Structure 1
Amino acid sequence: MKKTGILLSTLLLAASLLTACGAKQEAAPAANGAAAEQTKVKVGVTAGPHEEILNKVKEVAKAQGLEVEVVVFNDYVQPNQALDKGNLDANSFQTIPFLDKFNEDHKTKIVEVAKGVTFPMGLYSTKHKKVEEIPEGGVVGIQNDPTNRARALLLYQAAGLIKLKDGVGNKATPLDIVENPKKLEFKELEAAFLARSLNNVEAASINTNFAMEAGYNPKKDSIFSETSDSPYVNIIAAKEENKDNPAIKKLAEIYRSEELKKFIDEHFQGAVLPSW
């Protein structure tokens, strides 16, 4: 009986040791997996040039071991909402003034990772070839989101059509117009709809990505445009806690490479300007 008890104890001890060893071996891959470098990023863009640029980034990144999934949106709100909720790793569609306003309004912490390209906003018309031809009392279109609305009003001012209160800058609204010699009526629409509404207005301010999506060439078809030194540079953005993610840093590095700069220059022929 003693021998049987000793043998049973020995077998139980051995089984216990094997189980313990097995548990350690199973835990090791999980630890290694947690430390593995991220090799895929999901990036939100608006349809049009941003989408085309990111598809080129995707192509270049694949050869460097980074998989880029491009998610396309048709407005300026959803890309930041999706990023804040963790459904995206980064996005590329907005200027710093727009992001600052979004963070303020939605209590989010989305930050700039890198500067990308500049899309000069322009005035477009299917009825007139020159700004001077816009008639008195004409209805003109502007964007209804605060940042682009202010940018549009500054563009109308630069075109000599209105004058704004001194110092209003990026916070300008139609209420800040102090001179309107042609008594223009400003109609606010979503940025994506302005290009489709040109037949219903005398002119409209249109963001380059939406103008190109509608088939307009910003360099040839706009009747007035921002200059190349526009402060409205588009950025690659991420949540604050994720801005130093190596995969996102690599995404930005590829975006700002000479290969992408050449692609942008050749593909858009001056309608989109690399800002690096």
Structure 2
Amino acid sequence: MKRTLALTFTAVGAALLVFAGGQTATAKAATTITVGASPVPHAEILKHVQPQLKKEGVNLKIKKFTDYVMPNKALLSKDIDANYFQHIPFLEDYNKKNKTDIVNAGAIHIEPIGIYSNEVKKLSKVKKGSKVLVSNNKPDWGRVLTILKDAKLITLKKGVKATDATFKDIAKNPKKLKFEYDFEPKLMPELLDKDEGTLVAINANYAVGAKLDPTKDAIALEKSSSPYGNIIAVRKGDEKKPAIKKLVKALKSKSTQQWIEKKYKGAILPVKD
């Protein structure tokens, strides 16, 4: 009888250990999140809030991506829990094309796109027939066209929204600018270095990564009122998870906003709700 009881208690004890171990593993998985991000500035900003999140029980892991394709694929395949690299129009376009339902968990910062040149100091000095290089990132085309429109180098067709504008929507091009837009976004700084075009449009994250200062080196910069806020994107429903909410809260905190303003000196602007 005693032997039977001992065996029973041993079995129960083992079961409890297994259960407890399972509970510990589950708890750890629930407080560990992996976020895919562009190296600059996204991954840098995430690294900044790591200590703050750790105090709140969230273990933040950062996985870097150098393109605009893989982060959403990794999110959909559940290789990561969230990503931080894209703005809202980009996400909307991606969801429409791929029939997906990735959602915006919160807008964190704005990266003003800039026009750079090694030939001219002002857009007004651009000569006729000059080549304008733009990335193949379609959601950014309207941003570039808006800069050129504001500089009175082009006009757009009536009724076309800036966020939807493409190069086919150019109504007037008095300087006969030649547009090329089939380059990977990360290659734009290299094209500038090689003088491949008179004007080169570069996203702020790639500009900063290439040691360019958008506020000083760009001859024209997107206005800070731009609607292109870079967001934390997650699978539908995950925006309600406590760890994701803590992540967004930390990124939007006043201390993080001040850090962004100080570190990037206006090249990266925090979104203020």
TM-score normalized with structure 2 length: 0.89
> 2:169 is matched with which residue: 146, 170, 176?
176
Aligned partners of 1:106, 1:96: CA distance in 2, in Å?
Answer: 15
Report if the CA contact (8 A) 1:95-1:232 is conserved. yes
For residue 98 of structure 2, what is the aligned residue in structure 1? 106
Count of matched residue positions in the alignment of Structure 1 and Structure 2: 267
Deviates more, 1:84-93 or 1:143-152: 143-152
1:142 aligns with 2:134: yes
1:72 aligns with 2:64: yes
The letter of the residue matching 1:233 is G
Report if the CA contact (8 A) 2:188-2:202 is conserved. yes
Aligned partners of 2:57, 2:11: CA distance in 1, in Å?
Answer: 37
Aligned partners of 1:269, 1:11: CA distance in 2, in Å?
Answer: 75
Summarize deviations over 1:165-224 as a string: whole Å, max 9, x none: 223322322111110000001011221111211211001111111111111111111111
Deviation, 1:14, is 5.4
The 1:100–1:25 alpha-carbon spacing in structure 2 relative to 1, beyond 3 Å, is same
1:36 aligns with 2:32: no
> Which residues of 2 match residues 1-276 of structure 1 at below 5 A?
18=9, 21-22=12-13, 25-26=16-17, 28-29=19-20, 32-33=23-24, 36=27, 38-169=30-161, 170-188=163-181, 189-198=183-192, 199-276=195-272
The 1:190–1:167 alpha-carbon spacing in structure 2 relative to 1, beyond 3 Å, is farther
The letter of the residue matching 1:68 is L
The letter of the residue matching 1:88 is I
The letter of the residue matching 2:185 is A
Aligned partners of 2:5, 2:56: CA distance in 1, in Å?
Answer: 48
Aligned partners of 1:55, 1:31: CA distance in 2, in Å?
Answer: 29
The 1:32–1:204 alpha-carbon spacing in structure 2 relative to 1, beyond 3 Å, is same
The letter of the residue matching 2:177 is L
Aligned partners of 1:17, 1:69: CA distance in 2, in Å?
Answer: 42
The letter of the residue matching 1:214 is A
User: Could you say what the CA RMSD is over the residues aligned between the two structures, in angstroms?
Assistant: 2.2
Aligned partners of 1:89, 1:222: CA distance in 2, in Å?
Answer: 35
Which structure has the bigger radius of gyration?
Answer: 1
Query: Aligned to 1:205, what secondary structure does the other structure show?
Result: strand
Deviation, 1:58, is 1.9
Deviation, 1:131, is 0.3
The letter of the residue matching 1:25 is L
The 1:13–1:52 alpha-carbon spacing in structure 2 relative to 1, beyond 3 Å, is closer
For residue 4 of structure 1, what is the aligned residue in structure 2? none
Deviates more, 1:250-259 or 1:20-29: 20-29
Report if the CA contact (8 A) 1:146-1:171 is conserved. no
TM-score normalized with structure 1 length: 0.88
Query: Aligned to 2:129, what secondary structure does the other structure show?
Result: coil
Deviation, 1:80, is 1.0
Aligned partners of 2:66, 2:7: CA distance in 1, in Å?
Answer: 60
The 1:32–1:67 alpha-carbon spacing in structure 2 relative to 1, beyond 3 Å, is closer
Summarize deviations over 1:65-84 as a string: whole Å, max 9, x none: 32211111111111111111
The ranges of structure 1 where at least 4 consecutive aligned residues each deviate by more than 4 angstroms after the TM superposition are: 10-20
Percent identity between the two aligned chains: 37
The 1:52–1:12 alpha-carbon spacing in structure 2 relative to 1, beyond 3 Å, is closer
Query: Aligned to 2:147, what secondary structure does the other structure show?
Result: helix
The 1:213–1:186 alpha-carbon spacing in structure 2 relative to 1, beyond 3 Å, is same
